[in-house]
Structure 1
Amino acid sequence: MLQSKEIRGPAWLTATALIAALTGCSETVVLNPAGDVAAQQGDLVMLATGLMLIIIIPVILLTFFFAWKYRQSNTEAEYDPEWHHSTKLELIIWTVPLIIVIILGAITWISTHKLDPYRPLDRIDAQRALAPDVKPLEVEVVAMDWKWLFFYPEQGIATVNELAAPVDRPIHFKLTSTTTMNAFYVPDLAGMIYTMPGMQTELNAVINKEGVYKGMSSHYSGAGFSGMTFKFHGLSNEGFEQWIAKAKTEGKTLDRTSYLDLVKPSERNPVERFGKVDPKLYHTVLNRCVEEGQMCMHTMMAIDKAGGESYARAKGLNLSPDMCTTEDAAKLTAALEADASTPAVIQQ
Structure 2
Amino acid sequence: MRQIPFRACLRMAAVAVLVAGVAGCSEGVLRPHGPVGEAEKTIFLNSLGIMLAIVVPTILATLGVAWWFRASNRRARYLPTWQYSGRIEMIVWSIPAMVILLLGGIAWVGSHDLDPPKALVSPEKAVRVEVVSLDWKWLFIYPDQGVASVNRLVVPVGVPVSFRLTSETVMNSFFVPELGSQIYTMNGMVSRLNLKADQPGLYPGFSAQFSGDGFSGMRFTVDAVGKEKFANWVEETKGNGRSLAMESYEDLAKPSKNVEPYTFGSVKAGLFDLIVNRPTGAIAKGN
1:16 is displaced (CA, Å) by 4.5
In the superposition, relative to structure 1, how do residues 106 and 25 fare at CA in structure 2: closer, same or farther (>3 Å)? closer
Q: Is 1:146 the counterpart of 2:136 in the alignment?
A: yes
- Equivalent residue, structure 1, for 2:229: 239
In the superposition, relative to structure 1, how do residues 39 and 250 fare at CA in structure 2: closer, same or farther (>3 Å)? same
Question: Is 1:31–1:43's contact at 8 Å kept on the other side of the alignment?
Answer: no
Looking at structure 1, the residues matched to 198 and 238 of structure 2 have their Cα atoms a distance apart, in angstroms, of: 26
RMSD over aligned CA atoms reads 2.1
Looking at structure 2, the residues matched to 9 and 87 of structure 1 have their Cα atoms a distance apart, in angstroms, of: 45
Alignment of 1:46-61 (within 5 A): 46-61=45-60
What secondary structure sits across from 1:106 in the alignment? helix
Looking at structure 2, the residues matched to 12 and 101 of structure 1 have their Cα atoms a distance apart, in angstroms, of: 36
Alignment of 1:305-320 (within 5 A): none
Higher relative CO (Cα under 8 Å, sequence separation at least 6) belongs to 2
Looking at structure 2, the residues matched to 171 and 231 of structure 1 have their Cα atoms a distance apart, in angstroms, of: 15
Alignment of 1:59-138 (within 5 A): 59-122=58-121, 130-131=122-123, 134-138=124-128
1:243 is displaced (CA, Å) by 2.0
Indicate the larger mover: 144-153 or 252-261: 252-261
- Equivalent residue, structure 1, for 2:266: 276
Question: Is 1:186–1:192's contact at 8 Å kept on the other side of the alignment?
Answer: yes
Looking at structure 2, the residues matched to 13 and 112 of structure 1 have their Cα atoms a distance apart, in angstroms, of: 42
Looking at structure 2, the residues matched to 108 and 228 of structure 1 have their Cα atoms a distance apart, in angstroms, of: 31
Alignment of 1:189-338 (within 5 A): 189-250=179-240, 252-288=242-278
Question: Is 2:200–2:225's contact at 8 Å kept on the other side of the alignment?
Answer: yes
Instruction: Tell me the alpha carbon deviations over residues 291-335 of structure 1, each in whole angstroms, 9 at most, x when there is no partner.
Output: 8xxxxxxxxxxxxxxxxxxxxxxxxxxxxxxxxxx9xxxxxxxxx
- Equivalent residue, structure 2, for 1:42: 41
Flag structure 1 segments of 5+ consecutive residues without an equivalent.
123-129, 292-325, 327-348
Question: Is 1:251–1:272's contact at 8 Å kept on the other side of the alignment?
Answer: no
State the one-letter code of the partner of 1:279.
A
Identity %: 39
Q: Larger Rg: 1 or 2?
A: 1
1:174 is displaced (CA, Å) by 0.3
Instruction: Tell me the alpha carbon deviations over residues 127-153 of structure 1, each in whole angstroms, 9 at most, x when there is no partner.
Output: xxx22xx21000000011111000001
Flag structure 2 segments of 5+ consecutive residues without an equivalent.
none
Question: Is 1:30–1:38's contact at 8 Å kept on the other side of the alignment?
Answer: yes
Alignment of 1:160-199 (within 5 A): 160-199=150-189
In the superposition, relative to structure 1, how do residues 103 and 20 fare at CA in structure 2: closer, same or farther (>3 Å)? closer
Q: Number of matched residues?
A: 281
Q: Is 1:159 the counterpart of 2:158 in the alignment?
A: no
TM-score by length of 1: 0.76
Which stretches of structure 1, 4 residues or longer, exceed 2 Å deviation after superposition? 7-26
Question: Is 1:184–1:217's contact at 8 Å kept on the other side of the alignment?
Answer: yes
- Equivalent residue, structure 1, for 2:30: 31
1:9 is displaced (CA, Å) by 6.6
